[in-house]
């Protein structure tokens, strides 16, 4: 049989090279290549408009905003978080000397189950760090109600939630701070990059200091900041990519619609539907394989796809709570996290990006229906 071309799980959104070249020439002329330059300011403004948020601070990746958010809010002690995420979520706590406390997820959404948060609160708890997994909004109202009751801060890892809105409002407005990742693999990228979204100018000021060593002026250092500034080249690249973000998301949506239509009646294959009132970004298309019903385990299907040059990914397997750094924590016990374990054991993220052709999508569907 003829070898079929490789279909990757994602493909980076790339700006037009000639347009980028024009902006690079401008940067060369300005001879100002980092430290809150022209394109850095332009991109912050453009992102505020696009995302419908009041204040944003650009970062050099999506992990340092998490670490910096915890610094900015002076979070210590214990933080309640989810094991079902990319490992950077929990690592940001570790880098701040904070003890992660894992709480199980809601099997219907993959997000932190608000009904299980209160039981995990101790006198040392200072914050909750949920993740809008796959860009699906968390139950932000329920989480905020708990945070208010116990005086806790809420920092959302919104790395997957670029452009996601609930009832016409950005999901990034929930909680005290939200972080974004603009990594190459995300819906919107600046090659590497990220951001923090905040509610007020004073917080933006403080975070802008923290990402620049704590400098509040030429000779004044007000905090033990880090270096996490985004440079002019990536800011300009990001400005161009922002112009195509809507088109890329629309292309992804078409793929999601086709996947759902084709997989609707396949026994043992479950996926998420769109949520009413939510503007989704179609960043991922996870399917969950019930081995007994489907007749094949997740891994069997995963490797079958791979054999046919279809490279899905098992996001998020293994769970963060199973890695050596964290598995000794009492909250990491599998008996505490049954829903997260089940989801991690059943998930495959199917290829999802703006360049998938109809032929690619049909090949993927056919492999799932006739494995």
Ligand X SMILES: *Cc1c(COP(=O)(O)O)cnc(C)c1O
In whole angstroms, how close is the CB of 267 to ligand X at the nearest point?
Answer: 30
Answer for which of 9, 51, 53, 62 binds ligand X (CB under 6 A) is: 62
- Report the residue number, 62 or 286, with the smaller CB distance to ligand X: 62
In whole angstroms, how close is the CB of 265 to ligand X at the nearest point?
Answer: 31
Q: Within positions 158 to 177, which residues make up the interface with ligand X, using CB under 6 A?
A: 159-160
In whole angstroms, how close is the CB of 363 to ligand X at the nearest point?
Answer: 26
Q: Binding segment for ligand X among 5-13, 61-69, 322-330, 350-358 (CB under 6 A)?
A: 61-69
Q: Binding segment for ligand X among 83-91, 169-177, 239-247, 353-361 (CB under 6 A)?
A: 83-91
CA neighbor of 367 nearest in space, from 314, 284, 296, 273: 296
- Report the residue number, 131 or 356, with the smaller CB distance to ligand X: 131
Contact 235, 249 (CB under 8 A): no
Q: Binding segment for ligand X among 14-22, 85-93, 223-231, 258-266 (CB under 6 A)?
A: 85-93
In whole angstroms, how close is the CB of 321 to ligand X at the nearest point?
Answer: 15
C-alpha 298: how far from chain center: 23
Q: Binding segment for ligand X among 5-13, 110-118, 152-160, 257-265 (CB under 6 A)?
A: 152-160
- C-beta nearest to ligand X: residue: 62
- Distances 253 to 172, 183, 260 between C-alpha atoms, Å: 21, 20, 11
Q: Binding segment for ligand X among 32-40, 80-88, 121-129, 195-203 (CB under 6 A)?
A: 80-88
Answer for which of 78, 113, 157, 176 binds ligand X (CB under 6 A) is: 157
- Report the residue number, 67 or 289, with the smaller CB distance to ligand X: 67
In whole angstroms, how close is the CB of 24 to ligand X at the nearest point?
Answer: 23
Q: Binding string, 184-223, against ligand X, x = CB under 6 A? A: ----------x-----------------------------
Alpha carbon distance 229, 208 (integer Å): 9
Is 9 near ligand X (CB under 6 A)?
Answer: no
In whole angstroms, how close is the CB of 62 to ligand X at the nearest point?
Answer: 3
Q: Binding string, 325-364, against ligand X, x = CB under 6 A? A: ----------------------------------------
Contact 339, 105 (CB under 8 A): yes
SS (H, E, C) the chain: CCCCCCECCCCCCCCCHHHHHHHHHHHHHHCCCCCCCHHHHHHHHHHHHHHCCCEEEEECCCCHHHHHHHHHCCCCCEEEECCCCCCHHHHHHHHCCCEEEECCECCCCCCECHHHCHHHCCCCEEEEECECHHHCCCCHHHHHHHHHHHCCEEEEECCCCCCCEECCEEHHHCCCEEEEECCCCCCCCCCCCEEEEECCHHHHHHHHHHCECCECCCCCECCCCCECCCCHHHHHHHHHHHHCHHHHHHHHHHHHHHHHHHHCCCCCEEECCCCCCEECCCCCEEEEECHHHHCCCHHHHHHHHHHCCECCECCCCCCHHHCCCCCCCHHHCHHHCHHHHHHHHHEEEECCCCCCCHHHHHHHHHHHHCC
The owner of tokens 């054999």 is 307
Alpha carbon distance 83, 129 (integer Å): 11
In whole angstroms, how close is the CB of 18 to ligand X at the nearest point?
Answer: 27
Q: Binding string, 109-138, against ligand X, x = CB under 6 A? A: ----------------------x-------
Is 183 near ligand X (CB under 6 A)?
Answer: yes
Is 63 near ligand X (CB under 6 A)?
Answer: yes
- Report the residue number, 69 or 198, with the smaller CB distance to ligand X: 69
Is 281 near ligand X (CB under 6 A)?
Answer: no
- What is the contact surface with ligand X in residues (CB under 6 A)? 61-63, 85-86, 88-89, 131, 157, 159-160, 181, 183, 194
């Amino acid at each position: 049989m003829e070898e079929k071309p490789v279909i990757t799980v994602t493909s980076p959104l790339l700006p037009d090279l000639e347009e980028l070249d024009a902006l690079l020439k401008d940067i060369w002329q300005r001879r100002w290549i980092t430290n809150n330059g022209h394109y850095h300011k332009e991109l912050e403004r453009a992102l505020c408009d696009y995302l419908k948020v009041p204040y944003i601070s650009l970062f050099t990746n999506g992990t340092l905003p998490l670490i910096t958010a915890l610094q900015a809010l002076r979070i210590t002690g214990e933080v309640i978080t989810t094991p079902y995420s990319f490992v950077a979520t929990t690592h940001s706590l570790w880098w701040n000397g904070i003890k992660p406390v894992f709480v199980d997820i809601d099997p219907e959404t993959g997000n932190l189950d608000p009904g299980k948060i209160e039981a995990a609160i101790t006198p040392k708890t200072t914050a909750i760090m949920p993740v809008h997994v796959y860009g699906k909004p968390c139950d932000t109202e329920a989480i905020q109600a708990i945070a208010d009751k116990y005086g806790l801060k809420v920092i959302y890892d919104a790395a997957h939630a670029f452009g996601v809105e609930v009832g016409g409002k950005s999901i990034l407005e929930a909680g005290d701070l939200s972080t974004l990742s603009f990594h190459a693999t995300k819906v919107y990228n600046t090659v590497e990059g990220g951001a923090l979204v905040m509610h007020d100018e004073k917080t933006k000021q403080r975070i802008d200091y923290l990402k620049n060593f704590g400098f509040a002026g030429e000779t004044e250092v007000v905090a033990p900041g880090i270096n996490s500034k985004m440079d002019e080249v990536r800011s300009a690249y990001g400005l161009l990519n922002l112009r195509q973000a809507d088109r890329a998301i629309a292309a992804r949506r078409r793929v999601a619609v086709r996947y759902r239509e084709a997989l609707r009646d396949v026994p043992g294959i479950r996926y998420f539907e769109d949520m009413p009132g939510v503007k989704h970004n179609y960043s991922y298309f996870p399917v969950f394989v019930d081995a007994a019903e489907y007749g094949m385990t997740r891994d069997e299907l995963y490797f079958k796809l791979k054999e046919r040059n279809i490279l899905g990914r098992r996001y998020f397997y293994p769970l963060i709570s199973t890695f050596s750094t964290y598995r000794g924590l009492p909250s990491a016990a599998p008996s505490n996290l049954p829903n997260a374990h089940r989801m991690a054991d059943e998930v495959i993220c199917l290829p999802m990006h703006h360049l998938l052709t109809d032929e690619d999508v049909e090949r993927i569907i056919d492999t799932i229906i006739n494995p």
